[in-house]
Amino acid sequence: MRRVQKPPAPADRWGAELHEALALASSQADALSLLLSRHIPVFPCVPGGKTPLTAHGFHDATADIAQVGPWWTRWPDANIGVPTGARSGIDVVDVDVHPLGSGFAAFERARLEGLVDGWSWLVRTPSGGVHAYFPSEPGREQRSWQVPGKHIDFRGDGGYIIVPPSAVADSDGSGGVYRSIAVATHHEPAPMDARALRAFLDPPKPMARPIDAPALDARPERLAAWVASRHEGGRNAGLFWAACRMVEQGLDFPTTAAMLSRAGCEAGLSERESITTIRSAYRVAAPAAAPCANRSIPVEAVGR
């Protein structure tokens, strides 16, 4: 009996070989063939646009050629949509460019913090922005989100992207093609922490002392214990408040980070998200002492 080959895990479907092949794909048919060969689910979107053509949008995505074939027979010029997150094995940071603003400055600041250094593929979007692809982390749900005014979106579970060589045409005659601009060759691609990126882009605002919070001059150990007891919905803001109090007490960043990042993790935050929030507290409460990861990441290919 012929042995049926098991499809690769979602996170293993993407890699430099596929990215480079998609960069050379000259037609939708070529790109579809490459994606389906890796068992990556796809769905059709309107030619020259981003709106799904199927009734349930990205929920209809499949890697079954018996379904994909009829779709592109019916809509031969359809753009190619791919669901993000666990279904496909990729997460995407969408750096937007609009007449009223650009996300490149915020992306660069996130790069210096080490929050977006594990990208595997960079794709130029028709608007002049960038899609930065990251392998998704198996077993970890990261929902899609937007941060108003920052011009950066995250496409994870519950989202989708349009892939090369799809094209978008605007009503004013502008538009263009999604095209590859860089494949990771000098670093190992790694999953990103979407919550940490969001906390960095949209840090907690200075807040009044919570009713159940320790005294403003409470010992660091008590502040850490209070952070560890926070529940979802108040964890990040509580961590930020406690970190600001430790800054005011004169504690240096390594000491504060060591105590409060552990407390944040006990409350349910990731270590990276906790560190990002603590850095934000230093930027607000003591700008001169604010630390920066300042990692050297080869993102010059992103451009401006």
User: In this predicted structure, what is the pLDDT of residue 283?
Assistant: 80
Asked if residues 229 and 267 have their Cβ atoms less than 8 Å apart, the reply is yes
Residue 215 binned pLDDT confidence (cut-offs 50, 70, 90): confident
Give the model confidence (pLDDT) of 117-165 as tens digits. Answer: 999 999 999 989 999 999 999 999 999 999 888 899 999 999 999 999 9
Residue 210: pLDDT over 80: no
pLDDT tens profile 20-53: 999 999 899 999 999 999 999 999 999 999 999 9
140: helix, strand or coil: coil
SS3 category, 220:
helix
Q: Which of 69-73, 191-195, 200-204, 277-281 has the highest mean pLDDT?
A: 69-73
pLDDT in the model for residue 216: 65
* Mean pLDDT, residues 243-260: 89
Give CA–CA dist 214/209, Å, rounded.
9
> Global pTM?
0.73
Task: Count the neighbouring beta carbons within 10 Å of the beta carbon of residue 9.
Answer: 10
- Across the chain, mean pLDDT equals 86
Q: Which residue has the higher pLDDT, 64 or 3?
A: 64
Q: What is the DSSP letter of 124?
A: E
pLDDT value at position 185? Answer: 86
Cα distance between residue 267 and residue 254, in whole Å: 20
Q: Is the pLDDT of residue 16 over 80?
A: yes
- Place 300 in a pLDDT band, splitting at 50, 70 and 90: very low
User: Which domains does the chain show, CATH number per domain?
Assistant: 10-192 (3.30.2250), 203-289 (no CATH)
Q: Quickly state the pLDDT bin for 248 (edges 50, 70, 90).
A: confident
Q: Is the pLDDT of residue 292 over 80?
A: no
pLDDT at 176: 92
